[in-house]
Copies of this chain bind each other. A is one copy, B any other.
Amino acid sequence: METLEKYKNLLKEIGKLESATSLLAWDERTYIPESAHEARSQVLGKLSKMAFELSVSDEMGEYLEELTKEDVFQSLSEKDRASVYWVNHDYKRFKAIPPDLFEQYTIDRSKSEFVWEKAKAESNFEMFRPHLEKMVDYAKKFADIFGYEENPYDALLEDYEPGMTARELKEIIEPLRKELVSFLRRLLDEGEAPDTSFLTGNFPKEKQRELSIRALKAMHYDFKAGRLDVSAHPFTTKIGPSDVRITTRYIETELLPAFFGSMHEGGHGLYDQGIDKDLTWTGLDTGASMGIHESQSRLWENYVGRSRAFWQFFYPQLQEVFPEFESVPVEDFYRAVNKVEPSLIRVEADELTYNFHIMLRFELEEGLVNGRIEVKDLPELWDDAMNRYLGVTPPDDAHGVLQDVHWSGGMIGYFPSYMLGNLYAAQIFAAARREIPDLEGKIASGDLLTLREWLREKIHRFGRMYAPKEILEKATGEGPNPEYFLKYVREKFSDVYRL
């Protein structure tokens, strides 16, 4: 079919441009000389625009119109159908926004991000307020343009977690919150907190890097199709079908942030490396959703990396790199990496308290989009909620409402993905335990390949072929179910805290 070939060729063109922009962006965050940023942003802007223009071109529109005709669509292979479905899904959303509105949005967004950085540095919410108000207005406008059945927030969620709704999120969050609040209270009141003093000290970058690399190799992250570099904010990027790079950041006084950061990004990396090569440049060579992607990073970081079984295998390696740990028993170490501590900053939160940071953000942004909350009231509402959930109060807005970049960049509807990632990870790991005989024993003996292969078979290889719920059902036999997460934290932390 000629249209199908033309359509595929157009996607390849877009894919190649996006590959170039990914490298330009990776370099901008890793190796670029400091005077080169201004020209780089012009080059990046140009190439992103070219890729975007192709993806909303009349040409694309014609191909999609033809390929989505019912009889034509049904005659396609499963992969081609998935490609047409998702490319059309995005095309309709992009095309719905009037070009003038979109252009003004990108300009305002860029200003907003710029001002946020300054406002955060000065802990000055008032400076940022008018820009955030604009971003919320855009979110409302876009929600109206995209359309929704029940809640405008659903229209925004669709960008990050297709098919998810605010109603469903609330149904997930409500029981989760209740359980977690009371469990956290009990843990802190009655539990025996682990000693973590040995996790701070002097840990040279080179040694930390070696440790990260050993863990990534154990995970079978493919260094022939990837790299580990340094950047201010760790990230994973897919530059090509065999080019998935991750970054971390070393703090020499702390042993673990870079290490777990590497395992986290390594989990994202395994997902991207595992996508079937024949999905390259078809619009499907990406994750099913932000939530599913995050489930993979969390699974490797927490369900593997913070497990007793993993340290049974890996602790001798850590002791090889840092001989000072020969005097620390592995059990003490295992307990230390699982310390629970209510804190102000989302990205530093532990497994258990992390979700509260998300619940809070979801409540606020859903309220903003629905007009129940005004931007000016955010700082107060934020501090209240922090107190309610975690019993801590931000000393200033930099440690409160200004801490995350997302809202400044118009990313409203993104935060729930992080929580969903945690819940999905629990559910997926539970399924892996059911299906892989003696998974803990395998991990304890250093065999992480069986788990990676299982994930690849069940999730990774499909890329974006299936919606998040579909992929979850395929892998675990059911839709999102927070019970797995609750069971996991109860069991694990009761043990760690000797309840």
Contact = CB atoms under 8 A, between A and B. Distances in A.
A39 B242 CA distance: 8
Contacts of A241: 39
Contact of A36 (B21, B38, B43, B240): B240
B39 A280 contact: yes
Contacts of A32: 243
A222 interface: yes
Contacts of A224: 33-35
Given A34-B224, A35-B242, A23 B27 contact: yes
Contact of A43 (B34, B225, B240, B242): B240
A129 interface: no
Contacts of A21: 20
A39 B243 contact: yes
Interface in A348-405: none
A16 B42 contact: yes
Given A33-B223, A46-B16, A243 B40 contact: yes
A13 interface: yes
A51 to B, nearest CB: 11
A17 B256 CA distance: 41
A20 B47 contact: yes
Contact of A225 (B20, B36, B46): B36
A225 B16 contact: no
Interface string A33-60: 1111011101100110000000000000
A20 B24 contact: yes
A19 interface: yes
Nearest to A40: B240
A227 B34 CA distance: 10
Looking at chain A's contact residues, is the secondary structure mostly helix, strand, loop, or mixed? Answer: helix
Nearest to A239: B36
How many copies of this chain does the complex contain?
A: 2
Contact of A33 (B34, B38, B225): B225
Interface string A129-173: 000000000000000000000000000000000000000000000
A226 interface: yes
Question: Of A16, A222, A280, which is in contact with the most chain B CB atoms at under 10 Å from its CB?
Answer: A16
Question: Of A38, A241, A242, which is in contact with the most chain B CB atoms at under 10 Å from its CB?
Answer: A242
Contacts of A19: 39, 43
Interface string A242-281: 1101000000000000000000000000000000000010
Interface in A6-38: 13, 16-17, 19-21, 23-24, 27, 31-36, 38
Question: Of A13, A27, A34, A36, which is in contact with the most chain B CB atoms at under 10 Å from its CB?
Answer: A36
Given A27-B27, A46-B13, A280-B39, A243 B33 contact: yes
Contacts of A39: 19, 240-243, 280
Given A16-B46, A17-B46, A20-B20, 10 more contacts: A20-B43, A33-B225, A33-B245, A34-B224, A35-B224, A35-B225, A36-B225, A39-B280, A40-B240, A43-B240
27 contacts: A16-B42, A16-B43, A16-B46, A16-B47, A17-B47, A19-B39, A19-B43, A20-B20, A20-B21, A20-B43, A23-B23, A23-B24, A23-B27, A27-B27, A31-B227, A33-B223, A33-B227, A33-B242, A34-B224, A35-B224, A35-B225, A35-B242, A36-B239, A36-B240, A39-B241, A39-B243, A40-B243
Interface of A: 13, 16-17, 19-21, 23-24, 27, 31-36, 38-40, 42-43, 46-47, 222-227, 239-243, 245, 280
Q: Top 8 A-B pairs ranked by shortest CB distance?
A: A36-B243, A35-B242, A39-B240, A16-B46, A35-B225, A19-B43, A35-B224, A16-B43
